[in-house]
Amino acid sequence: MSPKRRWLRILLPLGIVLALIGVTITLHELAEPDTSEAHYLSPQQSGRLPTSGEQLADLLRAKGVTIKRETRTSDALMATWALKGRATLFIPTPEFVHPDYLWMLRHSPNSTRVVLVEPNARQVHEAVPVLGVGNTRWATRVASPGDCPLTTAGPAGVVRTQYGALKDVEEKPRICYDNGLVSVSFRSVEFVLAGSADPFRTDRLSEHDNATLAVDLLSARPNLIWLDLHAMDPKPKTYSEEYPGAGPPLPSLQPGNERDRPDASPRPRSSFSQPPGREISAPDEGERPNPFPEWLLPLFLMLLLAAIALAFARGRRLGAPVTEPLPIDVRGAETALGRSKLYRRARARGAALETLRVDARQRLAAALKTGTGREQLLDALAARTGHPRDWLETVLFGPEPEDDSELQTRTTELLRLVQQVTRE
């Protein structure tokens, strides 16, 4: 087997696997919703687009919940605070909320419920620093609620990002859906972290018990402030600049970093208290989930080592066919037929033709009473047959044939040359 074909056999399966992985990742990225689109988890009329929240809004209104849509975080906070604890603030896209506004959430009126959809570690720390982010999956998983006081729903698809309490904190969260839904009371504000947006999407409401879960989370208060935000918030200004005469102001934040806040705290690096041993990610680390399971790399390395060991154990079969003595005596025709079938199956045209050339050179040298050396044999043949020396060299010592047609042509030329010389 030529080096080119040997490398092709090694690289072709690997290339197919890499192509499948690339196609899978590309299709997954195309299937992921764009949170910057105006209809994403929006309560507005959008023609029932798959990733909108229009159908969920209809279910909530049917249950008697008053929905107020806001497009700026500052307006949503003002509307929530004006209701003095009789409201749920729903933030489906916390990645667009400025960190200063996330910090303000903890200063909401007592009994206010704040529902955040799949916030990352940095956003969790800004809003409710007693919680942390654990494992993040590539796709949402369905889980059972367990002993969950937040909802009467059954199994639902809410486990994509998992949350839990940090060690050594006094607030004990309520854990549901295998850490995919977590609630904690922090400074008398109830924070609910949902690990996936699926239960709130129009195209996923009918799956499992997603609709019941979403309605239960957002209907615990008679009023729902729905933050319909799809672009990054600017940094808050002082209230005198942004809210002249607008009533009770938001807490004033002068320009500066987060440690200028009265209750700023360092970002922790710890682990979950429930379940034990699960690591949280640092708030300043990347949040993109790994598309491959954790066991894939060890499995790949193990298979690679096994393949290397197998290659060493059966090393003779990695190269071109070699000549070996047969263990028993068989007829020459059977040997030639068996060897030719092996060569054909392996597509070893060069080895097959070289076998014929070796035998032909020996017969020609015997007929011409000369040696089998290249120059000596070619000179004798040119003198006896009158054929051009270049043609004789191609027939007896030429390159490996590229296809079966060329192999057949070279074989026919070789046979006729031997017949011509031996008959004479």
Tell me whether residue 215 is in a domain: yes
Residues 209, 101: one domain? yes
Residues 278, 326: one domain? no
Tell me whether residue 8 is in a domain: no
Tell me whether residue 397 is in a domain: yes
Cβ-contact 281, 133 below 8 angstroms = yes
Residues 150, 260: one domain? yes
Residues 250, 340: one domain? no
Per-residue pLDDT of 172-187, as tens digits, reads 889 999 889 999 999 8
The last residue of one of the domains, among 242, 269, 288, is: 288
Residues 106, 216: one domain? yes
Residues 73, 142: one domain? yes
Tell me whether residue 147 is in a domain: yes
Asked whether the predicted pLDDT for residue 90 surpasses 70, the reply is: yes
Mean pLDDT (whole number) for 11-28:
70
Residues 330, 280: one domain? no
- Average pLDDT value for the chain: 77
> What is the CATH number for 60?
3.40.50
Tell me the CA end-to-end span of the chain in Å, nearest whole number.
37
Rounded Cα–Cα distance for residues 144 and 157 (Å) = 9
Tell me whether residue 299 is in a domain: no
**DSSP 8-state code for residue 320:** S
Residue 249 identity (one-letter amino acid):
P
Domain that holds residue 347: 320-423
Residues 252, 199: one domain? yes
Per-residue pLDDT of 42-84, as tens digits, reads 888 767 788 888 889 999 999 999 999 998 888 899 899 889 8
Query: Which residue from 129, 265, 102, 119 is spatially nearest to 184, judged by alpha carbons?
Result: 129
Residues 280, 330: one domain? no
Rounded Cα–Cα distance for residues 155 and 199 (Å) = 11
Rounded Cα–Cα distance for residues 144 and 360 (Å) = 78
Residues 229, 96: one domain? yes
Tell me whether residue 194 is in a domain: yes
Tokens linked to 269? 């690096």
Tell me whether residue 261 is in a domain: yes
- Angle made by CA atoms 226, 227, 229, in degrees to the nearest 5: 145
- pTM of structure: 0.59
Residues 248, 162: one domain? yes
Residues 150, 225: one domain? yes
Specify the number of domains making up the chain.
2
